[in-house]
Chain A
């Protein structure tokens, strides 16, 4: 699944030009110094022009920010398979002090906190050898994926739809590791810190989960991604996996776990990464939420991946449309499609399930008639009956977009 066939003409040009000159540097030979280059792409929103550049262990990706790196996956990748290759997987850091050299054999995770009876340290080797490995295919999606598509626009990282990916994660259950720490009855939350730091000592990226969630057996310390080491920019050598939850909780380069008897309220839990505390996690544009809560489980989304907005389809013969759907862990039960802007709906075919947390493929066919325009829409339901709104919801931080998207095509 890791081999990539460059089907995108833009990428072919890039490779032909030798834009990302690989220069073996450092221990692992992953170092690359990108040549100055001006390849760009244009998102379909105002101020959407972006550079495309090569970062370590990555193919050319869309640059949301150079430093710290925030890199978006080009949309065509999502049509090439349900598993997002490691070198195409998006990157999102919060602080500029990112580790650029990590010895995976010497890396340790410190486990402590005031609700732990027996603090200890664990090495990567111990993690790999002393616990039962588990595996899950799970979507990792940035809370602010698609933020730039909010209307009215909101400030923050202006992502298109490519701040997400689906990977096979292997590691050990957090529950098994914490079992050695002799948790006290007062344990309320577990906090997670990684090697990345702010440059001036503030704003360290620390996240927290409730103790029951942390101990559910699914939250995982992963040391492999798609069968190999995790790319450094995605959290090498060990990353917290929180299946079904937005990626803000998936702490990279995990180095410190604390079990505490309070609710952690550091900057990245409050006021950052919070949503309106109501059923839709939404409010009227321009207003302020009465109360907020930390962002949590992902909502239902579905995307057509085989056609982009404005595409031409061949008239008079069957056109096969493909896409992906996912949710926060119930699993996709149904995907419906419409070719007339949402007037009439039919059931799409569902592909095999790689697990409740994975992208699931769907497909449908229609026969376009010459000269006609088609407004293609897809809408998914999960096993709890949750779905996607026909009109976009709004919230100030621009998280959780999941509207039924529209892809308009013309038959020619």
Chain B
């Protein structure tokens, strides 16, 4: 097939490949700190979001959503974090967190 450039088969090519990559060894990286933080708020969900949401992911996930994102979106996301990703969020905290999110980042700003 034209699109796939098959390398010259055989030992020579393989050995060459091995020689080329053998030095690769290991990689170790240090990740930079979060570039943004949650927006402070007097709403009770702010502290809970700081404890629960940004434990796993940085605040760009909220900050960059389109400002028309409605309450059902934020509700679905918080519930997804609990049910799919097993985030240890108390059921009673869900509406509190959602209220902070939609009023801070969504269409109830």
Contact = CB atoms under 8 A, between A and B. Distances in A.
Interface of A: 23, 25-28, 30-34, 36, 46-47, 50-51, 53-57, 63-70, 95-96, 98, 100-105, 125, 128-129, 132-137, 148, 152-155, 157-158, 170, 198-203, 218, 223-224, 229, 232-233, 236-237, 243, 267, 329, 331, 353, 355-358
Interface size class of B (residues with CB under 8 A): 35 or more
A64 B97 CA distance: 22
B30 A96 contact: no
B57 A158 contact: no
B79 to A, nearest CB: 12
Contacts of B47: none
Contact of B4 (A46, A200, A355): A355
A215 B67 CA distance: 44
A28 B30 contact: no
B24 interface: yes
B31 A67 contact: yes
A56 B31 contact: yes
B41 interface: no
Contacts of A198: 56, 85-86
B33 A135 contact: no
A66 B3 contact: no
Contact of B17 (A103, A128, A200, A218): A128
A356 B2 contact: yes
B7 A133 contact: yes
A102 B28 CA distance: 6
A96 B68 contact: no
Contacts of A356: 2-3
Interface of B is mostly: loop
A233 B35 CA distance: 18
A4 B75 CA distance: 44
15 contacts: A31-B29, A69-B31, A96-B56, A104-B24, A129-B14, A132-B7, A132-B9, A132-B14, A133-B17, A136-B4, A136-B5, A148-B66, A155-B66, A201-B86, A232-B29
A27 B61 contact: no
Interface string B5-21: 11101000110011011
A154 B26 contact: no
B4 A100 contact: no
A196 to B, nearest CB: 13
Contact of B2 (A223, A237, A355): A355
Contacts of A101: 26-29
A32 B85 CA distance: 29
Contact of B26 (A105, A170, A203, A233): A105
B28 A202 contact: no
B69 interface: yes
Nearest to A38: B35
